[in-house]
Amino acid sequence: MNAIDLTRQLVAMQTMNPPGNERACARFLGGLLEKSGFKTRYLEFAEGRTCLIAWTDAHTRTGGQDESRPVCFSGHLDTVPLGVTSWKRDPFGGCIEGDKLHGLGTSDMKGGVAAMVAAALRAAQTSHGKANIMLILSAGEEAGCQGAFFLAQSAHRLRPAGALVVGEPTFNYPCIAHKGIIWMDAEAEGVAAHASVPDKGVNAIYKAAQAILRLQKFSFSTPNNPILGAPTLNIGTIAGGNAINIVPERVMFAVDIRTIPGQSHAAIYRQIEDCMGDDARISNRRLDCPPVATDANHPWIQDVFGIMEPILKARPVPRGINYFTDASALASPLGNPPVIILGPGDLARIHKPDEYCLVSNIEAAEEAYYQIMMKWDHPCNKFQNSNSKE
Ligand SMILES: [Zn+2]
């Protein structure tokens, strides 16, 4: 099964989130992997919301030691919904024009998922099942890594991995870090009164405004990360008041914070509360994902840079991305392995109409993933040593 045909088949399976409905997609990919000797497990966090874990049993063949950790590939099966703007081509048609494969989720990230599954099938075949590979294909990523957090909460279902590749869109550039995220709702509370006697009430909009203006100047007082830069804060939504002639008693606003390694999320919640003072309070913690970062000098990172050098026609340099991925949820239950974010998709094409992914990028990603799988060399991964050319 080549990665391009597989991408087109995945695009034809609608997995817009909401509602997701990833089950058919997970079962289809699981079936392909099972035929090539992979063990599989399907885990649902809700009806039809299926995550797939697939692995070769190289683990048991090398003696079953825990140290024989697989290289793990992670992707998500859901896509964002179609927006209101109509598409020039069928978003589920997967039509190819020149080097462009069109469709919803081609870049984010069915092209990446197809490349990793195609690479895994090929690696299992050429290594006669000895390549030590694990795939984690999650549901519900677009709504805050729901599937990955569900897997993380039942961590006994995940065995430790030796390294993790996340196939999110990086235009095939191997990135070694991404920011963390905090999503929270804040609330300003007032006292309702008739608008003709505002002094009888307390205006929640004025209180929220004071809090928000202070948040606009909020300083994280932390040095910039050399790869990820500075943490950021943005107020994304605001809602409040009941009618023009009532002193408003409640205002809600939503705060998005992107964090960098070394920051304590617990400390940030306290600093935000302090900054808002008596004017507002945090009413709901919606999402909390830690940043992910690996030392560029880690030997496996350098291995992957070596694999990517001929593909990119330049030695990669340490880079990070601003968006967050399933790695935030999966890194800890996988034993905090080194992480690379590397996928064929184009960030500039996602979450909007007329998404596409370059055919040549998907093919290059498939080749890169295949080489990463075949080169995976853990001390206990004996076949690698006997087969290596060194
Ligand atoms: Zn994605």
Asked if residue 92 lies in contact with residue 16, where contact means CB atoms within 8 angstroms, the answer is: no
Residue 45 structure tokens? 């966090």
User: Does the structure show a pLDDT above 90 at 251?
Assistant: yes
Q: What count of other Cβ atoms lies within 10 Å of the Cβ of residue 136?
A: 25
Cα 297 to ligand 1 centre (Å): 27
Residue 189 structure tokens? 């509370």
Strand 232-240 vs strand 250-259: parallel, antiparallel, or unpaired?
A: antiparallel
Cα 109 to ligand 1 centre (Å): 5
Confidence band of 253 (pLDDT split at 50, 70, 90) = very high
User: Does the structure show a pLDDT above 80 at 66?
Assistant: no
Cα 107 to ligand 1 centre (Å): 8
pLDDT in tens, 327-339: 999 999 999 999 9
Confidence band of 382 (pLDDT split at 50, 70, 90) = very low
**What mean pLDDT comes out for the span 226-246?**
97
pLDDT computed for residue 59 by the predictor: 60
Residue 117, C-beta contacts closer than 8 angstroms, at least 6 positions apart:
1, 3, 6, 29, 32, 33, 135
**Least confident span in 68-72, 281-285, 340-344, 382-386:** 382-386
| Domain extents in the chain | 3-178+291-387, 180-289
Cα 343 to ligand 1 centre (Å): 10
pLDDT above 90 coverage of the chain, percent: 89
User: Does the structure show a pLDDT above 50 at 220?
Assistant: yes
**What mean pLDDT comes out for the span 134-161?**
92
- Which residue type sits at 205? I
**What mean pLDDT comes out for the span 266-283?**
98
Asked if residue 271 lies in contact with residue 265, where contact means CB atoms within 8 angstroms, the answer is: no
**What mean pLDDT comes out for the span 288-314?**
97
Where are the strands (E) in the chain, listed by range?
A: 39-44, 50-55, 71-76, 96-97, 100-102, 133-138, 163-166, 177-178, 180-189, 232-240, 250-259, 281-289, 292-293, 320-321, 339-341, 356-358
What's the CA gap between 201 and 197, in Å, rounded?
Answer: 8
**What mean pLDDT comes out for the span 150-169?**
91
pLDDT computed for residue 62 by the predictor: 53
Cα 161 to ligand 1 centre (Å): 21
Cα 375 to ligand 1 centre (Å): 26
Confidence band of 129 (pLDDT split at 50, 70, 90) = confident
Cα 64 to ligand 1 centre (Å): 33
Q: For residue 62, give the H/E element and its range.
A: none
pLDDT computed for residue 154 by the predictor: 82
Cα 326 to ligand 1 centre (Å): 9
Confidence band of 94 (pLDDT split at 50, 70, 90) = very high
pLDDT above 70 coverage of the chain, percent: 94
Mind giving me the DSSP string for 308-323?
HHHHHTS-----EESS
Q: What count of other Cβ atoms lies within 10 Å of the Cβ of residue 238?
A: 15
pLDDT computed for residue 383 by the predictor: 42
**Least confident span in 126-135, 154-163, 250-259, 271-280:** 154-163
Cα 122 to ligand 1 centre (Å): 24
pLDDT computed for residue 68 by the predictor: 83
Cα 281 to ligand 1 centre (Å): 32
CATH architecture of the domain with range 180-289:
2-Layer Sandwich (3.30)
Class for the domain spanning 3-178+291-387: alpha beta
Cα 389 to ligand 1 centre (Å): 36
